[in-house]
Amino acid sequence: MDATFAERYAALSSRDSRFDGQFIAGVHSTGIYCRPSCPAMTPRAKNVSFYRTAAAAHEAGLRACKRCQPDAVPGSPDWNLGDDLASRAMRLITDGVVERDGVPGLAARLGYTPRHLTRVLVAELGAGPLALARAHRAQGARTLLASTDLAVADVAFASGFSSIRQFNDTILAVYETTPTQLRALARRAGRAQATGVPSTISLRLPARAPFDGTGLMRFFADHAVPGLETGDDTAFERPVRLPGGVAHVRLDVLASEALQENGVRCTARLESISDVSTLVARVRRLFDLDADSVAIDGALARDAVLAPLVGAVPGIRLPGAVDAEEALFRTLVGQQISVAAARTVLGTIAAELGTDGLFPTATQLAEGGRGVLRGPASRVSTILGAAEALASGELVLDVGMPADEFQARLVALPGIGPWTAGYLAMRVLGNPDIMLGTDLVMLQSAAALGLPGTTKGLTEHARRWAPWRSYAGLHLWRARPVAAKRAAPTIGA
């Protein structure tokens, strides 16, 4: 028994819910796969195989356990933690790229041939891109069947299936039941939240405990753009641009230790029901719902200076972004001015250049930004240059890009430096291991805590926080001295 198998089997034997979604336990004697916390009797080790994805378990001829519903859990944190081809492919697959562009489109986004991509995914994840996308569609369908009153046919197309027959065949193969029976089974677990309006959905998106959802909501509320977003400590609302149209989204924090419920309630009014899975993927990234907070907190708490900060704010999460271009412009506008000033400027930009209540696109900014943007000429030039590069296709920002390439493309533009590129890698890619060693507030906070207060010193000290340096930085920002809070420039409004 190798070490990895032994660790996973121990988690399965103890029914440890912390590992739900991080791996799948396939039980060959029964032909099913389960989440690690499945309440069923622990199978013998000789009958168990572990898989990184549900698709790999499907390919091995296994079906999902009806008792523990292994799909109703947070996703794997590996896809943000890793920067390899498999991880980047999974970020795009969960965003619905295969449904929109097919495997050739996915491969092109990643810069490889479909054949090479398939070979790598089969070797790393146990299944090719079609099988991984199929499993993702099945999981999305299960969520919609459990959480909405959408007709079964609408669920099929909302989940990305091309036909009702394909949908029925997949549900039968994965869950060994019909869609109608799966809906009844899922709702017996008490997860139903029907809206009664076909174009409106309400879904529970789970997170691993601990989950500092209130801290994220406070961040989004503090940086909300007038006319575009509203929020407080418990809820956040804004429009989201999706492939099929605009979704108007409300997000509410779910946090109940008694009910063992952590995560976000997503209520959305959609123009196209086919955008459901893409919206879910983007909201999960926005709230960093798949992070393994137990592992992150445990690693950072080993540093005596960080331990009290981690204890005060367990489950801290990276605030993500629903639109990479918007995140870039908001960051550029917000640098070196206060949060309040940045919100005012961004509100003016959104009101004068945006349409449909959305933040303007790169093309809209490139065409009309010169008449709206105010401030130092160098900053205006940087924003317009980035907008023109994005509009022309010279610059591409994609969640499937390696972090190094993502940052290098940004730094290559005039006026964009390493801080901006690293900050956006955190927000857009969800990269967990970015250290912004030049950040003034972070340096002030570090010095106040007794850590090195210079860029070189803090960067060197932070090596012990890898691969969670992004989260360590969030703790330093949260703990910044009062004087720094009063004078601090905005960090990525």
Q: Helix 129-147 vs helix 97-110: angle between axes, to the nearest 10 degrees?
A: 150
CB 29 within 8 A of CB 9: no
Residue 72, token pair as written in the block: 């109703």
Q: What is the number of alpha carbons within 13 Å of residue 62 lying toward its C-beta?
A: 26
pLDDT in the model for residue 489: 43
CA distance 143 to 202: 10
Residue found by looking up tokens 């097919």 in the block:
102
Active site residue 34: yes
Q: Which of 247, 249, 248, 215 is nearest to 232 (CA)?
A: 215
Q: How many Å separate Cα 156 from the centre of its chain?
A: 24
Looking at residue 72, its pLDDT comes to 81
3-state secondary structure the chain: CCHHHHHHHHHHHCCCHHHECCEEEEECCCCEEECCCCCCCCCCHHHEEEECCHHHHHHCCCEECCCCCCCCCCCCCHHHHCCCHHHHHHHHHHCCHHHHHHHHHHHHHHCCCHHHHHHHHHHHHCCCHHHHHHHHHHHHHHHHHHHCCCCHHHHHHHCCCCCHHHHHHHHHHHHCCCHHHHHHHHHCCCCCCCCCCCCEEEEEEECCCCCCHHHHHHHHHHCCCCCCCEECCCEEEEEEEECCEEEEEEEEEEEECCCCEEEEEEEEECCCHHHHHHHHHHHHHHCCCCCCHHHHHHHHCCCCCCHHHHHHCCCCCCCCCCCHHHHHHHHHHHCCCCHHHHHHHHHHHHHHHCCCCCCCCHHHHHHHHHHCCCCCHHHHHHHHHHHHHHHHCCCCCCCCCCHHHHHHHHHCCCCCCHHHHHHHHHHHHCCCCCCCCCCHHHHHHHHHHCCCCCHHHHHHHHHHHCCCHHHHHHHHHHCCCHHHHHHCCCCCC
CA 49 to chain centre: 28
Looking at residue 488, its pLDDT comes to 44
**The pLDDT of residue 461:** 97
- CB neighbours (10 Å) of residue 39? 8
Interval 150-175: pLDDT, tens? 889 999 988 989 899 999 999 998 98
pLDDT of residue 314: 96
Is the Cβ–Cβ distance between 422 and 459 less than 8 Å? Answer: no
Tell me the C-alpha distance between 124 and 260, whole Å: 32
Which of 20, 288, 433, 439 is labelled catalytic?
439
Report how far residue 229's alpha carbon sits from residue 412's, in angstroms, rounded to the nearest whole number: 31
pTM: 0.90
The end-to-end CA distance of the chain, in Å, is: 50
pLDDT value of position 345: 94
pLDDT value of residue 14: 92
Residue 98 burial by Cβ neighbours in a 10 Å radius (0-12, 13-18, 19+):
buried
Residue 78 among the catalytic residues? no
* Residue 64 identity: A
Give the chain's domains with CATH numbers.
3-54 (3.40.10.10), 78-187 (1.10.10.60), 200-290 (3.30.310.20), 303-318+432-493 (1.10.1670.40), 322-418 (1.10.340.30)
Q: Which residues of the chain have pLDDT under 50?
A: 190-198, 258-259, 486-493
pLDDT for the residue 197: 43
For position 1, what pLDDT does the model report? 55
Active-site annotation holder among 20, 34, 78, 288: 34
Q: Nearest 5 degrees, angle CA 207-CA 210-CA 216?
A: 70
Triad 402, 403, 406: Cα angle to 5°: 85
| Cβ 148 vs Cβ 267: under 8 Å | no
In whole angstroms, how far apart are CA 187 and each of 78, 194, 411?
A: 29, 10, 49
Q: Please identify which residue in the block is written with the tokens 């943000």.
A: 80
Contacts of range 10-17, beta carbons closer than 8 Å, 24 or more positions apart: 11/36, 12/36, 12/38, 12/42, 12/48, 13/42, 15/39
Residue 487, token pair as written in the block:
């004078």
- Give the phi and the psi of residue 202 in degrees, each rounded to 5: -135, 115
CB 110 within 8 Å of CB 88 = yes
Q: Please list the residues that pair with 301 across neighbouring strands.
A: none
